[in-house]
Structure formats: structure tokens, C-alpha cells
Structure 1
Amino acid sequence: MGGYAAAPADLELGIQETVQALGEKRSPAGWMWKVLGAVLAAALCLGGLQLWALYWAPRPQTTAQAEERKAPTLGDPAGSTDPHHMLKQFSSNAKAAIHLVGTYDEDESAQLEWSASQGQGFTYGSFQLRQNRIVVPRGGLYFVYSQASFRVTCGGEAGAGGPPVPPSHRIWRLSDSIGSKVSLLSAVRSVCQPGGAAGDGELGWYNTIYLGAVFQLNRGDELWTETNLLPELETDEGKTFFGVFAL
């Protein structure tokens, strides 16, 4: 019985079938690699978008920063729009500050007396109150401020006793570098204007003079106030004050 001999055509056909079978077996693996590559590309794109969003998104403010940038509103129940309250808050962050409360007693003194130990008065740093004057501890920029409140009584009869004297308030400075006193701030208010409502033959006009500005002061400078119509002054809590704080 003779052996079977494979013809060249048979060998070629067998090789093609083998290659085709191997290709069919490897095709699922190639498909999986393609899927994994697509997932990886999508993940990289998503990560890049997240990084871009984090970089360009506004950074959240801390509680302290939000409080510092918060502007006082008219409806603040704490009364933060009150100049007296706001000035005390600002001066509490200063290197040196002094806040004085004004009192007047015509039986004891002929001038407006300032005190750091009454009401909301205080001293911080090296400020001194000497002979009713504020003494500047060192040279630098300072915010100087003062307020005087008046209740002026106007006569009911026109021309009786002449026109009323308008209230005025002034801050003086005495410095060795200048050699004489100079006026830092001053203001005058008109009172007893016509057209007001009369009551019991007299009119009471309430008026407030507020002064405040930044100045370059020297060590040893003295600051004090001058106010007329002292009997008409309102010295209740927070109505009349005088202070300085370093910037």
C-alpha cells in the first residue's frame, strides 16, 4: 500500500488555513486593546478638563477674608454705620490709638473736657492725654478726627437779641517744627433757618460737626480742640468725641 504524498498545492492551502485560524484567534485581543486605548484617551481628556476647571475657577475666600471685605450696610443691627462705632473698629487695628469722650460742666470748667476713661474712651500704644491735649508719640501718618453735637435753641421772635451765633468746632496743632499753632480742621454750621416748625415760642435745632483727615505729624506734636456754644453741646454717649490713630 503506497504512502500519501502531499502536493505543493495542498501544502499552500494548509498554510493559508493555519494563518487564517491564527488571525481569527488573535482578533478578540486586538479588539480589547483598541477598547482600552479609547477608554484611556477619554480618561486623559476628562482629567485635562478637570485640571483646567480647577485652575481657572475662582478661589473661595476664607471666612476672615470675607469679613474683611464685607462692607457695612444700613441694615446692620450692630450699628456698624455709626461713625463712632466704625472709628473704634478701625483704630483697634492701629499700632497706636486714642479715643476721647467729651464732657462739659459749666460749674466746674469753662472748656470741653476730654477723657479716655469714660464711656467708650481708650488709649492704646504711647499716646498721652496731657492738659486736655493729645501728645503724638512718634512721627508718621495719623488719622485725626473729632465730632461735636449741638442742640441750639432759637428765639421765637424774629430779631430778638440779634441773629444766633452758629456753632463751630476746630482742631489745633502745635509743633516745634512749625513754631506756632496751626488749624488742622474746622467747620461752622448754620442754625435757626426760617421755615421750621415752631413750638412753645422756641425752636431747638440739632446739628453735628464732624472733622476727619490724614496728616503727617511729628513726635511731640500736641492736638486739641476749640468749640463755641459750650452750653449747647450734646455730650451724651457717642455724640461728642476726639481721637487719633496711627496708619
Structure 2
Amino acid sequence: MDSSESYSPSAPRPAGRTVTMKTFLSLIVVFVITQLLGTVLFGLYLHMKLDKMGEEISLREDFVFLKKLQKCRKPQDADASLLDCTKILNIFRELQAQTSPIKEEVSRALTGDKKPSATIHLAGLRGSRKVLQWKEAVYAPSMDDEFSYQDGKLTINKGGRYYIYSQVAFCAKQEQHLPKQMPPFSVYMYLNLPSESDRLLLKGVGTHGNSDDLCDLQSIYLGRVVELQKGHVIFVNVTDSSRVNYDHGNTYFGMFELS
């Protein structure tokens, strides 16, 4: 062997084998990812299926309970004698007691009515005293336990925040025999407190009539929001009750509780 013969390196790997290896590895990665996705999707499907089965089982249990309840409410059925009807009826009563408050809340939410508010509206009753007298008005809320009325004074039996109001119609023109220097017709709304002097809440002053009418009918309206406690008394006072007009809808007094 000739020592001068040059050394030849080993031949390079064929390019086709490298491409095949890369393709094989890519297929393996795709297969693994596909398996993972398939496992996740199958898990979600199985979870949804189990939930649906649970709902169906729950509905079936409810249906079976209703069937038992129906049989217990008909003692003449032969199957009812095999059931513990006392226990089933007690369960039904407990469910009714639990759902009744919910139904009331839903009904109030739909109607927008949270709870009944204290309301009263009274019409003027002819009298001769400065403290005006009242009667139940037509087409108005009747007197309930939240108020009590006596001798022109309205007593509050339920503390809260109220809007109180009154309108008094009167003849603005004075009688001819009355002196001209008399003060104008005035309306006052008072809060009567136990062991205290009356507190003025509202005041309205009318004007003298200038027309040729015998009465020259005018009106004074009073109204405000006030915080009232149980036992507080409200009444309306006027300077001259003989000038008050008691025709329907002209003179009234009332209040309603604010939510």
C-alpha cells in the first residue's frame, strides 16, 4: 500500500434519510397533540353528559315524589296504603313553607310593590270650630289600623316618613257685617306632641276677594314631608270656619307614607 496515497473521508449521509426523520418526528408531535385535544374534548363531553344525566335523575325523582303525593291525597287508591303518606305530606308542607316567602318576594318584585304603605284621605265635614272636622272621602282608602281619628285630629299609629297635605277652599269675600280690619283667611297645620305645645308645620294665607260674586271662591293648599313617630297627632286649623267651602273635592286632608 502506497503511503503517499491520500486519505479519503467517509461519505456524507444521504439527504433523504434526514428528511424522513424530520417528517416522522412531526407526525409523532401531531399525533400527541391530537390525542391531547381529543382527551380534553372527551372530558368536556363526559362532564356535560353527567350533568344532563343528573338533571334527568333529579327530574325523575321529582316526578316520582309528585306521583306519591298524588296517591297519598287519594286514600282510596290501593297503592296509597303501601306508602308512608304522613312523611310524604310533611315533606310537601315543608316545601310549601320554604317557597311561600320566595313567591311573595317575586310577586312584589314584578309588581314593584314592596309592602303596603300607610295612606289616608279625608274630606271636609261642616262644623263651627276652628279645628276642621273630617270624614272618609268617597273613592279613597278607608281608615285602617295605621291611623286613628277623633275630633278633627289624626293620630299616627305607625312611625315613618310621611307626606302630609291639605286643601281648604274658602270664600275670599267677607260678609258685609264683618269689620274690614279683620286678618285675611289663614290655614294652619299643626303637630300636637304629648306634654308639649302645638308645633306649626305649615301655614297658608288667602287674599280678600275683589269680585262681585257673593263668595269669590279661592283655595289654599299645604303640603310637606315630615318624620312622624307613633302617637303624633296632626290637625288643621283655620281662622274662620264659617268661610270654608265643603263642596265635593274642595276641602280635604290626608297623608301617605314614603318608602
Scaled by the length of structure 2, the TM-score of the pair is: 0.49
Structure 2 residue identity aligned to 1:119: V
Q: What secondary structure, in the 3-state scheme, does the structure 1 residue paired with 2:123 have? A: strand
Cα 1:154–1:114, aligned 2, differ >3 Å: closer, same or farther? Answer: closer
Cα 1:125–1:150, aligned 2, differ >3 Å: closer, same or farther? Answer: same
Asked if structure 1 preserves the Cα contact closer than 8 Å seen for 2:131 and 2:236, the reply is no
Task: Percent identity, please.
Answer: 25
Match of 1:216 in 2: 227
Give the distance between the partners of 2:175 and 2:151, measured in 1 at CA: 36
Give the distance between the partners of 1:101 and 1:168, measured in 2 at CA: 19
Indicate yes or no: 2:123 matched with 1:112: no
The residue correspondences of 1:158-169 to structure 2 (distance < 5 A) are 161-169=179-187
Match of 1:235 in 2: 246
Structure 2 residue identity aligned to 1:147: Q
Cα 1:156–1:180, aligned 2, differ >3 Å: closer, same or farther? Answer: closer
Any idea what the Cα deviations from partners look like across 1:86-106, whole Å, max 9, x if unmatched? xxxxxxx95111111111144
Any idea what the Cα deviations from partners look like across 1:91-128, whole Å, max 9, x if unmatched? xx95111111111144xx67531112x53453245211
Match of 2:167 in 1: 147
Q: Which has the higher contact order (CA 8 A, sep 6+)?
A: 1
Indicate yes or no: 2:240 matched with 1:226: no
Match of 1:99 in 2: 121
Give the distance between the partners of 1:126 and 1:137, measured in 2 at CA: 5
Match of 1:132 in 2: 152
Q: Which has the larger radius of gyration?
A: 2
Match of 2:203 in 1: 186
Structure 1 residue identity aligned to 2:119: A
Cα 1:192–1:142, aligned 2, differ >3 Å: closer, same or farther? Answer: same
Which protein is richer in helix relative to its size? Answer: 2
Asked if structure 2 preserves the Cα contact closer than 8 Å seen for 1:104 and 1:111, the reply is no
Structure 2 residue identity aligned to 1:141: R
Match of 2:193 in 1: 175
1:155 shift after superposition: 6.2
Cα 1:179–1:237, aligned 2, differ >3 Å: closer, same or farther? Answer: same
Any idea what the Cα deviations from partners look like across 1:163-197, whole Å, max 9, x if unmatched? 45411111110224x8331011111111134xx4x
Give the distance between the partners of 1:185 and 1:133, measured in 2 at CA: 15
1:228 shift after superposition: 2.0
Which protein is richer in strand relative to its size? Answer: 1
1:229 shift after superposition: 2.0
Any idea what the Cα deviations from partners look like across 1:30-69, whole Å, max 9, x if unmatched? xxxxxxxxxxxxxxxxxxxxxxxxxxxxxxxxxxxxxx9x
Cα 1:101–1:94, aligned 2, differ >3 Å: closer, same or farther? Answer: farther
The residue correspondences of 1:16-165 to structure 2 (distance < 5 A) are 95-106=117-128, 111-116=131-136, 118-121=137-140, 122-154=142-174, 161-165=179-183
Give the distance between the partners of 1:161 and 1:103, measured in 2 at CA: 27
Match of 2:217 in 1: 206
Any unmatched runs of 5+ in structure 1? 1-67, 69-92
RMSD of aligned Cα (Å): 2.8
Any unmatched runs of 5+ in structure 2? 1-111
